[in-house]
Structure 1
Amino acid sequence: MLTIHSKLVNAMITQALNDHPIETCGVIAGPAGSNLPLRLIPMRNMAQSDNFFQFDPQQQLQVWKEMDARCEEPIVIYHSHTDSQAYPSHTDVEFATEPQSHYVIIPTNFLYKEEIRSFRIVDRMIIEERVRIVHQYQAELELQMVA
């Protein structure tokens, strides 16, 4: 299950709607080993396509180096589908290289009337998972209770 803050969900949706009809893409980083998405990093879709996304390789290298330096990992890798359902395409599966990540798809075609969906993609197997949108992370609550 992906647990994600509502502000991050809103930011992904806003980016996807602003980039429509081009597929949007990006990463949400979090502390390594935590499975806690915290820092949204919008990426450029080098393909500039309405049915395919590709990270700019130079930007991706820079972002991954920055995550390493900050002891982070890509918790969520997201992109939009502009004219199809929110389900990984054959190309999405082929390019899924982070088995620990949640792959989130944001539908921007209102005909599908879907919410965001999240998948794990490991060895070309697609497993849909529940998305739990929260307004505050448990860790934030614990910190507030200690203070």
Structure 2
Amino acid sequence: MVEIPKEILAAVISHAQNGFPLEVCGILGGNGQVVASHHPMTNTDASNDHFMMDPKEQFAVVKALRASGEEMLVIYHSHPESPARPSQEDIRLALTPNVHHLIVSLEARDKPVAKAFRIEGGAVEPVEIVVAG
């Protein structure tokens, strides 16, 4: 389970919509299973079917999270034209341990779908999203 405040989930979905037709990406920070901060990132690949976070931005976010007493809880990205489930590439590149992966699908443009997963060692497990507030 991961708890995400409704305003942060809305901001993630808005980021995905504003970035359409390209994939967007970012990091959610917090403690335990509770998200407290949203950090949109630059998709340096500027692609509609994969993403790569800007390494300098990623380092700065991790440093800021540590300074604020938070940890990286969620890595998110969008799927502009496919369902909210990890692709084979998403699974292969899920190398950060102990984080959830949130995927926002814009396949049905008027009804974005957000789903979370735990991806470790090639295994994918759905994770419940609790929307707080």
SS, match of residue 116 in structure 1: strand
Normalized against structure 1, the TM-score is what?
A: 0.84
- Alpha-carbon deviation of 1:71? 2.4
Query: Are the aligned partners of 2:97 and 2:120 in contact in 1 as well (CA < 8 Å)?
Result: yes
CA distance, structure 1, for counterparts of residue 7 and residue 105 of structure 2:
17
**Structure 2 Cα separation of the partners of residues 111 and 4 of structure 1:** 22
> How many residues get paired?
133
Instruction: Provide structure 2 residue ranges, at least 5 long, that are not aligned to the other structure.
Output: none
Residue in 2 aligned with 1:99?
Answer: 97
From the CA coordinates, give the structure whose radius of gyration is larger: 1
- CA 1:131–1:39 in 2, change beyond 3 Å: closer, same or farther? same
Structure 1 residue runs without a partner (length 5+): 136-147
Give the ranges of 4+ consecutive aligned residues of structure 1 lying more than 4 Å apart after TM superposition: 111-114
Counterpart CA distance in 2 for 1:114 and 1:64 is: 28
CA distance in 1, matches of 2:6, 2:15: 14
Deviation of the 1:125 alpha carbon: 0.7
Judging by fraction of residues, say which structure has more strand. Answer: 2
SS of the residue corresponding to residue 40 of structure 2 reads: strand
Which of 44, 47, 61 aligns to 1:63? It is: 61
- What code does the residue aligned with 2:22 have? I
Alignment RMSD (CA, Å): 1.6
